[in-house]
Amino acid sequence: MRSEFITFPMKIMTIFLAISLCTAFVFVIYFQDVNKAKDDIHIQILQDSSGNMTLSDVKVGDQFTALPGSYSKVGYSSVRLWFKIKINRYNANEINYFTLNNPLFEDVTIYMPTSNKYEIKHFGYAYKSSSDEIGYVYPAFRIPPHFDHNQYIYMTSQSLYGQNFIAQVVNDDQFRKTSMINVWAGGIFFGVLTALFFYNLVTGLAIKNKTFIKYCFYVLTTLLWNAAMTGLLNITGFKYAYWIVEYSTGIGILMSLAITIFMRSIFQTRTRSPKIDFCLRLLIAYFPITLLLFFFVSKELGAFGAAASSIVFVLYFIIMFKGIWNKTIRSPQLVTAWLLCFVSVILFYSMVFGVLPQSYIMIYYLFFLSCASAIAFALSLAEIINMLHAEKQRNQILFENSEIQSRQFELAFIRAQMDPHFVHNTLNVIEGVIAENKDKAGSLVNDLSHYLRNIFDYSNSERFISIHEELDAVQFYVRIEQARFPNKIVVNYDIDPEIKLKVPRFVIQPLVENAIKHGIRKRKMVGTVTIRVKELEPGCLIAVEDDGVGIADADKHKLLDYSPGKGIGLANINARLMAEYGTQLQIGSEKGKGAEVRFVVPIKEHS
C-alpha cells in the first residue's frame, strides 16, 4: 500500500514534467516564429467606431496606434478595425504570398497597393465561395507582380471570434513547404481522432457500454472543432469549410455538451459527486438552449453558451482535484487527459482574450493536445475494459464457487430427507419378515439399499436427473412403506410413457412421503396415492394426489412457510422450485376428502 501511494504521485509529477517540457519547447518555437518577421513587417491599428470609414478616410487619418510587430493580439472587438501594414523587406523577383494566421475571420478586405491603384481582396466566412483567398490553411493571397512595397497595405476586418493574427510574407518555396507540413500534420491528427472514434464506437456497441458511445460523441465534436480552428478543411477544397468556420462557436458549444455528458459517465458523478452532477445536468439542459439561440436567433446571444463552457472546465478541475486528493482517482491516464485539457484551455482563452496572438504553431499545438487528451481518455476506457474483464472473471469464480456450494447444500438437503426413525422401523420390519419370507425380506433390503444409495451418492453431483430415475427412487420408498403398513397404502402411477423430462433430485419423493405420512396413515382404512406426470401445453404437470384426511383451509398457506423448527417439507421443495423454474407448489385440499400437491415445469426446461 505504501509503495502504491509513493508511485502514484511520482507518476503525476512525471506526467506534469513531460507536458511542461513539451509546452516550453513549443513556446520557444512559437516566440521565435512571432519575432521572426518583427523587423520585416510593421502594423498599426485604428478603431472604426462609426463603421462607415472608407479607404480615403483612413489614408488621411492620423489615429493609428502602432502594434509591437508583425502580429495583432486584439480579442473580440465590437467595432470594425483598420490595420495599416508596412512591408520593410521585399524581394520583387520572387513569387510572394501574404498570409494571416487566423482562419476564423468573418469579414476582411485587403487593399494591396500597386503602381497605379489598389488591388482589393476579400475573404472571411461572410464571403464563402466568393472569397479571394487561395487554397491554404489560413488566409493567404498571392501578391501581384506590380505590388508597390513602398506603400502601406490597408486591411479592414470584423469578427465575432477575435482578430488575433500574425502577418507574414513568404516566397513560393516556403509557401509550398508550409502547405505540405499542414497537410501531413492535419492528416496525422485527423487520422488519430478518426481511428479513436471508430475503434471506441465498435467497442462500445460490442460490449454495450454507453460510456464508449459518449466518448465517440466527444471525439466527433473535437474533430469538428479542430477542423474549424485550424482551417484544415480550407486546403481540401471542402465546399462547406466556411460554413463550419461560421458556426464554430456552435460547434464549440456542442463540444462542451459532449464533454459534460462524457464527464458524468466516466467519473460517475451521479453517485460520487451529487452536487457537481447537479451542475452538470443543468449545463446539459443549458447548452442545447444556447445552441438554438445561436443557430436561429442571434450569434451574439448564442455566444453565452461558449462562455459557459468555462464552467465545464472548472467543474472538471474540481472533480479531478478532489479525486486525486481523496485517492478515488488513481488512473495516470485520467490525470494525463486532465492536464492536457487544462493546458489547452489556458492557451485557447489566452488567444481569445488577446494575451497571445494566433499562430499556426499554437493552433497545431492545441490540436495536438486535443489528440493526446483523446488518446489518454481512450487508454482510460481500455483500463475500464480490463477492470470489467477482471470483475467478470472474479464474478465467474464466485459463481462457480456458489454453484459448488449450492450443490453441497442441495445434497445436504436431500440427505436430510431421510428420517432415522424411518430406517429404524424399516430394519425392524425386515427383521420380522426374515423368518416368514426370506425372498420378501431380500427385496426390502434391496429397496432400502437403493433408497439409501440415492440419498448418499456422493459421487453423483448432477443437480438434475431424469423423471424415470426420480420415479424409481419413489418406488423404492413406496415398497418399503407398503411393507411397513401392509394393506394400508395403494399407489397408482399415471405417467405419460413418452415423456422426456429432467427434474431436481428428490423433488417428487418428499411429496409422496408427505401424502402417505400426513394423509393416508392418519385414516383407519386403506388409502390411495396417485402420482401423475403429464405433458401439457404450458409445461409438464407433476401432481401427487391422495384420498387421506385432507388439509384444513387455515393450514394450507402455512405449509409453504419455512421455519427452522419445522423441519424439512413442502416449504423446501417450494423454495427449490422457485429457484430453478420460478414456479410454486399448488395445494388443493378439502378437509376429510384428501389433498393434491402439484407444480408445472415450464416447457423451456424440458430436456
Which pLDDT band holds residue 565 (cuts at 50, 70, 90)? very low
Residues 167 and 191 occupy one common structural domain: no
| 191 and 334 within one domain | yes
Q: Does residue 32 fall inside a structural domain?
A: no
Question: Rg (Cα) of the chain, in Å, rounded?
Answer: 43
Residues 533, 424, single domain; the answer is yes
Query: How many angstroms separate the CA atoms of 199 and 205, rounded?
Result: 10
pLDDT of residue 276: 92
Q: Is residue 594 part of a domain?
A: yes
Question: Are 158 and 80 spatial neighbours (Cβ–Cβ below 8 Å)?
Answer: yes
Does pLDDT of 232 surpass 80? no
Residue 405 lies in a domain: no
CATH number at residue 302: 1.20.1070
Is residue 15 domain-resident?
A: no
Burial of 37 from C-beta contacts in 10 A (0-12 / 13-18 / 19+): buried
Q: Closest by alpha carbon to 186, among 197, 175, 176, 178?
A: 178
**pLDDT (tens digit, 9 = 90+) per residue, 8-44?**
788 888 888 988 898 888 888 888 777 766 678 899 9
**pLDDT of 300 above 80:** no
DSSP conformation letters of 259-301? HHHHHHHHTTHHHH-HHHHHHHHHHHHHHHHHHHHHHHT-HHH
Of the candidates 109, 128, 131, 129, the residue with the CA atom closest to the CA atom of residue 120: 109
The DSSP secondary-structure symbol of 595 reads E
Strand partners, 158: 107
Angle at 431 between CA 427 and CA 435, to 5 degrees: 155
Task: Say yes or no: 354 and 433 in one domain.
Answer: no
How big is the chain, counted in residues?
607
Q: How many CA atoms lie within 13 A of 504 on its CB side?
A: 21
Model confidence band, residue 455 (pLDDT cutoffs 50, 70, 90): low
Q: What is the pLDDT of residue 2?
A: 47
Model confidence at 102, pLDDT cuts 50, 70, 90, reads: confident
Q: What's the pLDDT score for residue 1?
A: 44
- In this predicted structure, the answer to whether residue 458 has a pLDDT above a threshold of 50 is no
| pLDDT at 252 > cutoff 60 | yes
| Higher pLDDT pick, 41 / 182 | 41
Same domain? For 282 and 167 the reply is no
Residue 405 pLDDT? 61
Using the 3D structure, point to which of 334, 364, 385 is the last residue of a domain: 385
pLDDT at 452 over 80: no
Whole-number pLDDT of residue 545: 93
Tell me if 426 is assigned to some domain: yes
Residue 422 near residue 510 (C-beta atoms within 8 A): no
* Contact present, 27 and 20 (Cβ < 8 Å): no
The set of cell numbers assigned to 279 is 451542475
pLDDT tens, 479-502? 888 888 888 889 999 998 888 888
- DSSP H stretches of helix in 37-75: 55-60
How far is residue 455's CA from residue 583's CA, in Å, rounded to a whole number?
25
What are the C-alpha distances in Å from 106 to residues 158, 242, 601?
Answer: 6, 10, 74
- pLDDT band at residue 457 under the 50/70/90 scheme: low
Q: How many CA atoms lie within 13 A of 450 on its CB side?
A: 17
Phi and psi torsions of 173, nearest 5°: -65, -45
Residues 105 and 109: their CA atoms lie apart, in Å, by: 11
Instruction: Tell me which of 143-152, 226-235, 377-386 is least confident.
Output: 226-235
Q: Distance (Å, rounded) from C-alpha 195 to C-alpha 584?
A: 54
Residue 500 shares a structural domain with residue 381:
no
131, 149, 174 - which closes a domain: 174
Task: Write a three-state SS string for 489-524.
Answer: EEEEEEECCCCCCEEECCCCHHHHHHHHHHHHCCCC
pLDDT for res 284: 93
CATH number of 473's domain: 3.30.565.10
Q: CA 52, 358, 287 angle in degrees (round to 5)?
A: 85
DSSP structural state of residue 538: S
| Placement of cell 423423471 in the chain | 467
Domain total in the chain = 3
pLDDT digits (tens, 9 = 90+) for 343-402: 998 988 888 777 888 777 888 898 899 999 999 999 888 887 777 777 778 877 777 666
Q: 154 forms bridges with which residues in the sheet?
A: 84, 111
Q: In this predicted structure, what is the pLDDT of residue 413? A: 58
- What was the pLDDT predicted at 296? 85
pLDDT at 421: 53
Burial class (CB in 10 A: 0-12, 13-18, 19+), 297: exposed
**Closest residue by Cα to residue 127 from 111, 143, 106:** 106
Q: Within 10 A of 75 (CB to CB), how many other CB atoms are there?
A: 16
CA distance 133 to 569: 91
Tell whether 164 is covered by a domain.
Answer: yes
Q: Are residues 198 and 318 in the same domain?
A: yes
Residue 407 belongs to some domain of the structure: no
* Residue-level pLDDT at 462: 65
Instruction: Calculate the average pLDDT of the chain.
Output: 82
State the DSSP H helix or E strand holding residue 392, giving kind and residue range, or none if neither: helix 360-416
Q: What is the pLDDT of residue 385?
A: 77
- DSSP class of 143: P
Residue 109 is part of which domain span?
Answer: 37-174
Looking at the structure, tell me whether residues 464 and 599 fall in a common domain.
yes
Residues 52 and 133 placed together within one structural domain of the fold: yes
Same domain for 474 and 379, yes or no, is: no
Q: How confident is the model at residue 245 (pLDDT cuts 50, 70, 90)?
A: confident
Strand 80-87 and strand 464-466: pairing? unpaired
On whether the CB atoms of residues 489 and 529 are closer than 8 A, the answer is yes
CATH number at residue 146: 2.60.40.2380
Do residues 219 and 103 both lie within one domain? no
| 95 in any annotated domain | yes
151 & 212 share domain = no
Q: Phi and psi for 583 in degrees, rounded to 5?
A: -115, 165
Decide if pLDDT at 150 tops 60.
yes
Judged against a pLDDT cut of 90, whether residue 470 lies above it is answered with no
CA distance 319 to 329: 9
Would you state the pLDDT for residue 343?
92
Domain boundary among 150, 174, 198: 174
User: Does the pLDDT value for residue 412 go beyond 80?
Assistant: no
Classify residue 581 as exposed, middle or buried by CB count within 10 Å of its CB (0-12, 13-18, 19+).
Answer: middle
For residues 61-83, give the mean pLDDT.
85
Q: Is the pLDDT of residue 282 over 90?
A: yes
